[in-house]
Every structure is written in structure tokens, then in C-alpha cells.
Structure 1
Amino acid sequence: MTRQNPILNVDSYKASHYLQYPPGAEHVSSYVECRGGEFREAVFFGLQAFMRQYLQTPIRKRDIDEAEEMLHAHGLPFHRAGWEHILAAHGGLLPLEISAVPEGTLVPLHNVMLQVVNTCPACFWLTSYIETAMVRALWYPMTVATQSRAIKKTVARYLDETADSRDSLPLKLHDFGARGASSLESAMIGGMAHLVNFRGTDTVSGLVAARRFYDADMAGFSIPAAEHSTMTAWGREREADAYANMLDQFAGPDRMVAVVSDSYDLWHAIDNIWGGPLRQRVIDNGGTLVVRPDSGDPVKIVTESLERLMKIFGATENSKGYRVLPDFIRIIQGDGVSRHSIPEILQAMKERKQSADNITFGMGGELLQKLDRDIMSFAMKASAIRIDGQWRDVYKDPVTGPEKKSKRGRLALVENRRGEMETIRLEELGQRENLLLPVYRDGRILVETDFDRVRARAELTQ
């Protein structure tokens, strides 16, 4: 990605804030939390990517010149002296200290998960200046990872109820979201965040990000798969030939191939092509054919597709009394898939005695794009300021919006006697362990993690 001017990675109003603090200001301490939403806990993830991409590159004089020209033309003041001080005294690196929980940690709502403070008294204004960049860098991967993990819990529950094991769980939700993401960087970050929980993806840029930012050699996997154009290019009258070609090219022992089958008539494709001239080839191919229904009401389409495939290829009853297709045939549903429709589909399958082992889900825009900061009410707020050597609380407590009440003072995160995370004031820490660990100081990353450790922390515990 092309280097961007970090001074301009900001909301406009931040440029005037250096003039708004009280005299004698030396340090500002801010924190990040999730204040609410439908998820009870958040997967903390994405900070290392932000630090590697944006916080290790020094500010340059040309950046200062460009920012001054642009912001003045934009109608705002510009703190040239402040940025020149960072350039001269700190080599252009940001004099900040960031403390955070380890990435992959599950943090219950309403708790601090990150705290940042300036290390140079002349840069008291800098802590809040980076809010725009930091909040954006964190809310998105955390929301993707949190939603993805919530879906993982749902699928795991249905596997526990209708399957003999959870062995297939890591590949049950496949990322189809690259084309629906708002940018390449969004696809990279969101695709990587999904891979904290699952191993299936078609978002190649997510693999690139996991390798670049978390040293993952290969974070996810995919299989050869058809799209509508490669099937319809054969013409309707040669649909069976198109499917046969997929088997010719990609089927075989221990191999998988996915074939979209609704280009014209899904039921004809299942009953009269897969269940007709290609039936024995599917049975004998040695690998697994994954049929993809791709239109219609997903609950009805999935359950009916499974019934028809079971009629053609048979099914066995597992130890829990649910029917499972032979290993050589499965389905993937990639249309109308969301965190809301997945449990509806799985429940309908359960009611028809169809095991969750029979299906994989592909999720696109709902996974990477139909998300926003308000889903978990993600926020970064100042909570303390040091003026003339004295720390003072900073907080908001709006009468018209009590849900936006912020925390006060310098903070710590501890495990209480009930084994739960709890946010306390730093001066109350005593001998307890602070779960917020310094990870960045003055341009240096102090603690790094790899993707395997992130995954291990975020793994389901039950």
C-alpha cells in the first residue's frame, strides 16, 4: 500500500484541538472500550497490524509541509511547532505509549482493552490526535472477528447436537466477502480477522495481511470452485458437460471441488444431472463434490437440496440420530448467509434430522461489509490529564445520553475474585496483575505476537 501522510490520517476538528487544552497540560491518557451491542464480549484484534503499518514510519518534513498547506486551505489552524518538535526531538516517531490486552483476548463489554498516553509533555495533544486512525484500525477487525467467533459458537452448538464431532468446525464458515468490501485494505483486514476463528477463505488479501502483520505462513485454505459464468458459458443444453468438466479437471482421491448448480434449474441439476449421468462418477471420484445452491430462500433451499441429495446418494444415521450424506457429497450455501440466517438454516436442518455435518456456509457482505462501529458501540475516550504535575480525572456524563458515560482516571484491567475481567483505577491495582501490557513506546513495538497465538486465545472454550 502507498504510504499516506500520517498527519492527515485524522478528522478535521483534531487539527484545532492543541489550542483547546488547559494551560499546563502535560499528558493525556485515553482508553478504548466497547460500550454495548448484541455481543457480550469482543475479540481484541488488529492492533499489531496498525502498529506495523502506520506507527513505525517517521514523520517527514514534507509531511509537515503538505499537512500545513492542506489544513490551512481547509480552514483550520495547524500545529507546525508541535510536529516539528516530534521531527527534531523524536526522529519523527510518535512519542506515545500504548498498553493493551494480548491480541485474541476476549474482553467483556464495558471494559478497557487498550490505553494510550503521550510520553513527551510537549505532545499532550497527540494522544487524542490519533483517535481517528486508531479507532478505525481497531473497531473493524474486532467487529469482524467477534461476529465470526459468535457464528463459530452457533455452528459448534449445532454440531454438538447433530454430529458425532466438531472436527469439521474450522472450515464451516468460508469468507466470500472480498468483492463486497469497501477497499482492498478493508478486505485485507476483515479477511484476516475472520481467519482468527476459521480456516476457510476466498479472500486472498486476508492471507497476505495475516502473513505481513502476524507472520502466518498460510492462514487459510480454499478449493477449486465454479462460478456461474464458467457454467453458463457451455450453454443450457450442455449443462451436464460443464459439470462433467469440473469433475474431469478437479475431482479425484482426497480432492474437493465445488460446483454452483442453480444457473437454470437447481432441482433439475440435482435430480437429473448429479443424480443422472454423473451419479456414479460422483460416487467413485474418491474425493468430495460440494454442490452449491445459490438462490432462493436459504432455509428452504438448503433443506430441500439435502433431501434430494440423500434420496439420490443415500445417507447414514449418526450416533445422535441425524442423517449424514456420504463423504463424497456435501453442500455449501453462499447466498443469504448472515449471523441471523445461519441458526435458522441449522435449526431447520435439525428439525428434519439433517446433521450440521452436511453443510458449509459461504458468507460475503454480511461478513466483511455490513458492519459498523455501533454494533459494539466502540469508542476511544480521554480519561485523565496531567496538568502542572498533577493527574486529574477526565470524563463525560451526558444527561441526555447516559449510555455514553465514560470512565475516569488512569485505568487497569484485572481478573477479580470471580475470575471475571474488571476495569479499575490504576492506583487501586496494588499487587494484582494488570492485564494491559505495554506493547508500543516511542516508535518501537515492544511485544509482538503471531497468528497461532491469537487464534489460541480466541478459541472456543466450550
Structure 2
Amino acid sequence: MQNDINPFNDMASILSNPILNTDSYKASHYLQYPPEASAMFSYIESRGGRYDRTLFFGLQMLIKAYLCRPITPAMIEQAKAFFTVHGEPFNEAGWRHIVEQHDGYLPVRIRAVPEGSVVPTHNVLVTVECDDPQVFWLASYLETMLMRVWYPITVATQSWHLRKTIRGYLEKSSDDLTQLPFKLHDFGARGVSSAESAAIGGSAHLVSFMGSDTVLGVVAANHYYNEPMAAFSVPAAEHSTITSWGRERETDAFRNMIARFGKPGAIVSVVSDSYDLFAALDAWGTTLKQAVLDSGGTLVIRPDSGDPQTIVLQTMRALETSFGSTVNGKGRRVLNNVRVIQGDGVNPDSIEAILAAMDQAGFATDNIVFGMGGALLQQINRDTQRFAMKCSAIRLGHEWHDVHKDPVTDAGKRSMKGRLTLLVNRHTGEYRTVTLPVVWDDRTVEGEWDEALVTVFDSGKLLVDMAFSEIRKRAHAGEG
């Protein structure tokens, strides 16, 4: 009986309640603004960080998951019960106004740069505006939820830059650029903090790549972005499937992998360091060589321990001795019938170091695929790109006033002021953040600049429902 009356026993309903999807102190803020406040305007930007450009992604997923459902009286009662005991005031009248006057849909307008856009830091990416005087504070109340877009943007940004790194080595050493989307595989599902993180971060990685073992990330990309299948995987061994045979039967375990999954055109990945990587490489090149060749597939060896840069080269040299190689049009060697996947110790620095070492040794980038786990989805945070959402304008009565912060102790935290928008030059692709209304000066020719922000959400309605393929096309439009 207690479960029926306790509003906090159903965690699913709590997590889907936008009133509770905030910071505690936000509940008191409606009492802190000037009494004549009637509208508010906020924005999101990257204030710099590891990369000088960010790939915008993930807002559509967030809006669909949290903002397209109406506020209900039950949600209000649930939030009221919480905040009353929690020690914060609760604006019950404001939330009931949303239910009674807006059918429960939040009267906010969200504008954003199209997903897949690559925008230099220090530019507005998202704006949030509420002009209902009764609930103007919503533009700031939603900060906690909307600010989490930092995560998919940062994952997508890192993967986009890694794609550029890998592409550079492919252009230098390979005859086949079509393999690029499968060069960085997502191994991150088990290393993230939640299933939701796996879904959000995993889908963000797929803007630049098409290989993933993070099932929830692929499902999220398919579901939220109208994609039939956003990524692919191959049969692969883990240590348990090899070590369960016992050390003396490791070769039998390897042979079983080829028998089960090896066929013309197929790819089979086999972890080979369970005991002695070098003995395993010798077995692959002698006892098992003919089975690999007869299968017609490609064997991918995964070393999973040791110094990545050293182990990758040792593995490739051993495989080259056994299976041979072919010199391509760039004068680099491509292994016959076999490849290497490095999934241990993979991060942006080690990828660069491994590719450079391979190139110096004369191996083409064709020979390797990277599997990236914690460094892909978990070893980032909001400060990686220094994301912030700030109020930049407030309407007092009928007049808009600029709002900003400018702390003397940290100029890097200076915020922008005014009602903002983003312009893009239709000829050069340059971005510029400006205030509304746009005032054209002698440096800005009106006909050369377009509004880069579009209204994606207004009062409960998603106005832009983008396909994943469109996002990928936009993100990589500059590739040759």
C-alpha cells in the first residue's frame, strides 16, 4: 500500500519529470529576479578548451527525450512533495500556469546551429528564450538539463578530430580512403557511468565513424535520428572465450573462431594475448595459417597488453613474416589476409604515436583499426571544452536589458551579453556571434551572411527532426 502513495518509489517517473531535472537552488530562483522581470534569454557556448572547434550534436536527442512531453498535475505534486521537505520553496502557481495555460508544454523557444555543424569556440551554439511573464524563469531553470548537451558535443568533437588525424595518415599511406569510417571502433560501453551515457556518447561518436560495440549508442542514433542502422560490428573473441579452452588448447580456440566465423569477405577478430602473444602469433603463422587462407576472410589480431606503440609494430612484423605483405601505390606495405586491432591504452595521443611509428616503419594505415573505450566516452568532462550556459538578457517590463558576468578573478569566465544569434558567411563559412537586432557595419555585407541558428523547439513542439545521415554529411562536408 505504501508504494501506491509514495511519489518517490517510482524512479522512472522521477527521472522523466522535468521539474525535478534541475539543481536544487533553481527552485528558489523565481523569487530572486527583479519583480518587473517578464522574459529571459540564455545561451550555450564552448569557452575554449582542448579543441578550437566543436562539432554540434545531441540536442535533438535531449529534446525528444525530455521536452516533448507535457507537465502533468502528478509531476507537480511529485515535485512539490520533494522540494517542501528538501528545504527549497516551490513555485506551484507557476507550474500550474504551464498546465492550465499551455496544456503542460513548456513555453520556451530553443534555437540552435544545425547538428553536424563544426563551429569555432567562443560562439553561441544554442539560445533559450521564454517570454511568458508568469514563467520567464524557465529559460534558466532548464539549464541543468540543457547543459548536458556538453557531453555529446564533446564526444562528437573528439571523434571528429580523431577522424582528421586518421584521415591524414590514410591519405599519406593508403590507396583506399573508404575504410576511414571503420578505423575507430567504440569499445566504451562498459567504462561509462550509466546506460544513458553509453547511449548518448555512443551515438555522438557515430557522427564520424561507423564501427561500434556500444549497442545502446547505435540504438540511440537509430531511434532519435531516424537511421535504419547507424553502425556495424563483427564477431570477436574475448579472453573468456579463449581461456575457457585452457592454455594447452588455445590453438583449438583460435581454430574454432575461424571455423565458426571465417568465410569469404568476413572479418574475424581474435584476442591473442591471453598467455603469450608471441607464441600465439607463431601459431597463427604456422599451424593455423592455411585455415586462415582457406576461409577467404580477414583475420584481425587483437593484442591487449603491453606498450601499445611497441606491441603494434611487433605484431605487424610477426604477421608480415608469416603472411607477407603487398606494397601499395603510396609505397607502404599492406599485410596479406590479416590486420591488427589495438584496443588497449588507446587515446588521442597514442593513436597519433602508433600511426606515426607505423608510417616510419613503412606500414600503411590500412593495417590497423583502433578500439577506444574509456578515453572515448568517459575521460572527458564539461571543462574539456569549458561549456557554459548563461543568461545574457532579461526583459524588465517591456524593455530588454543586457545581462553578463565579468569576474576580475577569471577573465575566461566572462559571459556574452544581449539577445544573441550566430551568423555564417555563405562564401567563406566563417561564423560570427552578434546581438539582436543585427546591425550591419562596414565590415559585414548583409548579403554575404545568413542566420546560422534555426528554431528547433517551441512550446512543446520539435520543429526540426534531422536524419543522422544529414548530420554526418554536414560534419564531413569539407573532406575531399
Q: Work out whether the TM-score is over 0.5.
A: yes
Residue deviations 1:271-323, cap 9 Å, x none? Answer: 1x101210111122111111111101000000110011001111111122211
| 1:185 matches 2:182 | no
Residue in structure 1 matched with residue 249 of structure 2 by the alignment: 238
Map residues 59-458 of structure 1 onto 2, 5 A cutoff. 59-136=71-148, 138-271=149-282, 273-326=283-336, 328-416=337-425, 419-429=429-439, 431=446, 432-458=449-475
C-alpha deviation, 1:58, in angstroms: 0.8
Decide whether the 8 Å contact of 1:190 with 1:368 is kept in 2. Answer: yes
Counterpart CA distance in 2 for 1:239 and 1:415 is: 59
Counterpart CA distance in 2 for 1:419 and 1:363 is: 32
Counterpart CA distance in 2 for 1:230 and 1:392 is: 65
Counterpart CA distance in 2 for 1:428 and 1:97 is: 19
Residue of 65, 68, 73 corresponding to 1:56: 68
Distance 1:379 1:151, change over 3 A: same
Counterpart CA distance in 2 for 1:111 and 1:429 is: 18
Distance 1:175 1:345, change over 3 A: same
Distance 1:401 1:371, change over 3 A: same
Q: Report how many residues are paired.
A: 459
Counterpart CA distance in 1 for 2:204 and 2:429 is: 27
**Secondary structure of 1:8's partner?**
coil
C-alpha deviation, 1:424, in angstroms: 0.7
Q: After TM superposition, what 4+ stretches of structure 1 lie above 6 angstroms from structure 2?
A: none
Counterpart CA distance in 1 for 2:183 and 2:477 is: 14
Counterpart CA distance in 2 for 1:40 and 1:219 is: 27
- Structure 2 residue runs of 5 or longer lacking an equivalent are 1-10, 441-445
TM-score by length of 1: 0.97
Residue of 29, 44, 64 corresponding to 2:56: 44
Counterpart CA distance in 2 for 1:102 and 1:255 is: 37
Decide whether the 8 Å contact of 2:38 with 2:131 is kept in 1. Answer: no
Q: Which amino acid in the other structure matches residue 434 of structure 1?
A: E
Counterpart CA distance in 1 for 2:176 and 2:131 is: 51
**Secondary structure of 1:428's partner?**
coil
Q: Which amino acid in the other structure matches residue 456 of structure 1?
A: K
C-alpha deviation, 1:447, in angstroms: 1.5
Residue deviations 1:106-160, cap 9 Å, x none? Answer: 1110000110101322111110000000001x10100110001111000000111
**Secondary structure of 2:185's partner?**
strand
Decide whether the 8 Å contact of 1:32 with 1:112 is kept in 2. Answer: yes
TM-score by length of 2: 0.94
Q: Which amino acid in the other structure matches residue 115 of structure 2?
A: E
Distance 1:419 1:145, change over 3 A: closer
Counterpart CA distance in 2 for 1:303 and 1:56 is: 51
Residue in structure 1 matched with residue 443 of structure 2 by the alignment: none
Counterpart CA distance in 1 for 2:129 and 2:178 is: 44
Decide whether the 8 Å contact of 2:73 with 2:99 is kept in 1. Answer: yes
Counterpart CA distance in 2 for 1:448 and 1:387 is: 34
Residue in structure 1 matched with residue 22 of structure 2 by the alignment: 10
Counterpart CA distance in 1 for 2:107 and 2:384 is: 32
**Secondary structure of 2:178's partner?**
coil
Q: Which amino acid in the other structure matches residue 433 of structure 1?
A: D
C-alpha deviation, 1:460, in angstroms: 5.7
Q: Which amino acid in the other structure matches residue 113 of structure 2?
A: V
Decide whether the 8 Å contact of 1:192 with 1:209 is kept in 2. Answer: yes
| 1:25 matches 2:54 | no
